[in-house]
């Protein structure tokens, strides 16, 4: 209200009404009529409490803006909390992932060691089996050589005996063989 009165007083002192010819306070002076109309307009506005209503509307608008600012501030704080929580969770997940990778590496190393030990056992068993086969083959070859040697020795002995054997010594050998077989059977 005071601002309006100050504005009106300023308007009275700066108007071109002082430059008009003739008396200022005359109804023939258009500047005077405009001034009176303006003052009446201001008076009507004050009578109907328009400045108070405008002030109330501005105050309500300021309150609304302040409420929106408060809400925006609260949303910002909530967003910062959520961001901090997500960053914390991301760090936890990163740590968990690193643990999983470390465990996987340890498991892979353990599996490699187990596979290496299994491979060594398999190689050892195969070497032992090969050695057994070689020993068996050697024994078989030795037996075959002995059998062949015995067969050759028998054949040579037969030839030698056949050349040196007479009818009387053959009959004597047959009798001794029959006595030996008879003694073993009874």
What stretch of H or E contains 7?
helix 2-14
What pLDDT, on the 0 to 100 scale, is given for residue 178? 84
- The reported pLDDT for the residue numbered 105 is 93
Q: What does pLDDT average to over the chain?
A: 84
Residues in the chain where the model's pLDDT stays below 70? 1-22, 165, 186
CA atoms lying within 13 Å on the CB side of residue 10: 6
Please report the pLDDT score of residue 6 as a whole number.
62
State the pLDDT at residue 4.
59
Give one DSSP letter per residue of 29-90, joined into a string.
Answer: -HHHHHHHHHHHHHHHHHHTTHHHHHHHHHHHHHHHHHHHHHHHHHHHHHHHHHHHHHHHHH
pLDDT digits (tens, 9 = 90+) for 57-111: 999 999 999 999 999 999 999 999 999 999 999 999 999 999 999 999 999 999 9
Q: What residue ranges do the domains of the chain occupy?
A: 2-97
């Amino acid at each position: 209200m005071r601002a309006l009165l100050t504005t009106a007083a300023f308007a009275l002192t700066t108007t071109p009404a002082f430059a008009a010819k003739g008396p200022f306070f005359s109804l023939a002076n258009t500047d005077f009529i405009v001034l009176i109309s303006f003052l009446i307009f201001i008076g009507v506005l004050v009578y109907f409490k328009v400045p108070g209503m405008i002030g109330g509307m501005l105050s309500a608008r300021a309150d609304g803006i302040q409420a929106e600012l408060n809400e925006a501030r609260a949303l910002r704080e909530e967003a910062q909390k959520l961001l901090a929580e997500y960053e914390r969770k991301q760090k936890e997940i990163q740590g968990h992932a690193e643990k999983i990778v470390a465990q996987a590496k340890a498991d892979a190393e353990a599996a490699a060691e187990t596979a290496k030990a299994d491979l060594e056992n398999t190689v050892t068993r195969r070497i032992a089996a090969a050695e057994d086969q070689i020993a068996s083959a050697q024994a078989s070859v030795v037996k075959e050589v002995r059998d062949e040697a015995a067969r050759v020795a028998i054949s040579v002995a037969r030839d030698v005996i056949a050349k040196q054997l007479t009818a009387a010594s053959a009959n004597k050998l047959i009798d001794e063989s029959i006595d030996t077989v008879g003694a073993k059977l009874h």
